[in-house]
Amino acid sequence: MSLLVVGLSHRSAPVSVLERASLVGDEQAKLVQDTLAAEPATEAAVLATCNRIELYADVDKFHAGVAELSTLLAQHTGVGLDELTPYLYVHYEDRAVHHLFSVACGLDSMVVGEGQILGQIKDALALGQELHTAGRLLNDLFQQALRVGKRAHSETGIDRAGQSLVTFGLEQLAQGAPVAEWARGKRALVIGAGSMSSLAAATLARAGVAELVIANRTLERALRLAESLAEQHAATPAAVSAMGEETLRGSLVARAVPRDRVSAELPHADIVVSCTGATGLVLTAAELRTALAQRAACPPGAHPAAADVSLLDLAMPRDIDAAAHRVEGLHLVDIESLAEAAAEPSGEPGSSAGAMATDVDKVRAIVSEEVAAFGAAQRAAHITPTVVALRTMAADVVASEIARLDGRLPDLDDKQRAEITQTVRRVVDKLLHAPTVRVKQLASTPGGAGYADALRELFDLDPQAVAAVSRADGSARTAGPNDPKGGRA
């Protein structure tokens, strides 16, 4: 195993750099394909979220791999290599495994313990499988990371600390008040209908907002989300208006509008959440000032009276102009302010803080245990093709000798020939059993990779035969999730 990860995250880079380095559109697919085409890499996968970009690869040369992966990240993010390099981190082999498992458990998240990262890891694996850039190593690694993350959440109380960015962001907007109490009865506008925006809409619906408007470039997608939330909150559908909007009425009023209707909805919104894949600003400071002026001109009762309009920007690069921080009447929370808030000590010593620290320690112990198990399994798997090639060679020797015996003793009947054949096979199997079992045990220990080489030398095994077994094993492991050979994440 020569696993290498090169990346940057909120821990290593300022938000201004992360914002510029984000991958948009099909850039993730292009990045992993170009990585696989590069000489040092035989497998590749990319984990890209709003606060991290990490490129994973199986490489045959460490220094060449680091140089190539760093260059590829610079090329595909559009940030110059000289500017990007100071913010990159590098992990290799067991340290790379430890890093991904920690990420999967939420230990490396902006909000410790958040569980949304598991879905993002699953997406990274699915992309690698779809493009056939994830081979045996990365398939095993990412599937194990998913299992480790689920184990951490099921066996510890890390979920107590594991708020999603959405929940954390809304708590920052609420400024100490319970989110449900703060949001109840307000009108909310959610821009975007992707996974993060959908989570924000669902959270606001549960918190008790009176009206929820979903604005998206594709109206059908926004409509599906609005219908789903309305159904969950006992809403009933109303007629489609002449403007092409779908209104759903009940305990929650949910509406779907096209993105170009955002400016018309802004004056009526008390809460705005935006998370799109746009490369430019979705809301400028000038547009927000105009909306505030229109809001002030609304007749009494036209919208709930709220002191400020609360803005939550979860996009990377940002959707909402950072200048909104300086506009009176607006309260903006974005990725940068969330990072600052997450870095601050809680100021709440006592049992809850102690319990969270205990949960984090438990998760760290799980990660260490799983890293050791993964390394042992990979080392054992490394010798399997050699053992298979050895047994294949032994079977060929038995077949050759039985054929030779047929020439010398042509009068043997079928029963005699079968008995002799079975006896020879048992002798060979017994001779090979103990050394092959023992060599697998030794290979699973640290430094055990050399036992495969020793076995090949001792028995003069054909390297091509060993490679053929490895390729067959790799083909079975890299089958996609819909392939009968493949595994589910």
Residue positions annotated with a catalytic role: 50
In whole angstroms, give the CA distance from residue 142 to residue 136.
10
**ω before 317 within 30° of 0 (cis)?**
yes
In whole angstroms, give the CA distance from residue 187 to residue 176.
20
* Ordered strands of the 89-92 beta sheet: 41-49, 52-59, 3-9, 89-92
* DSSP codes joined into one string, 247-310: EEESSSEEEEEEGGGHHHHGGG-SEEEE----SS-SB-HHHHHHHHHHHHHSPTTSS---SSEE
Q: How many CA atoms lie less than 13 Å away from 110 in the CB half-sphere?
A: 26
In 312-350, which residue ranges form alpha helices assigned H by DSSP? 335-343
Residue 489's contacts (CB-CB under 8 Å, 6 or more residues apart) are 122, 125, 126, 142, 143, 146, 481
Is 428:437 a contact under the CB 8 Å cutoff?
Answer: no
Closest CA relative to residue 333, chosen from 200, 240, 422, 233: 200
In whole angstroms, give the CA distance from residue 201 to residue 449.
51
Closest CA relative to residue 109, chosen from 64, 161, 187: 161
Could you give phi then psi for residue 283, rounded to 5 degrees?
-130, 120
Could you give phi then psi for residue 333, rounded to 5 degrees?
-120, 125
Is 453:376 a contact under the CB 8 Å cutoff?
Answer: no
Structure token pair of residue 382: 């490394």
Structure token pair of residue 471: 């390729």
Structure token pair of residue 447: 């430094």
Task: Please report how the helices 414-443 and 450-458 are oriented relative to each other, as an axis angle in degrees rounded to 10.
Answer: 150
Could you give phi then psi for residue 59, rounded to 5 degrees?
-120, 155
In whole angstroms, give the CA distance from residue 214 to residue 232.
16
Closest CA relative to residue 44, chosen from 61, 56, 54: 56
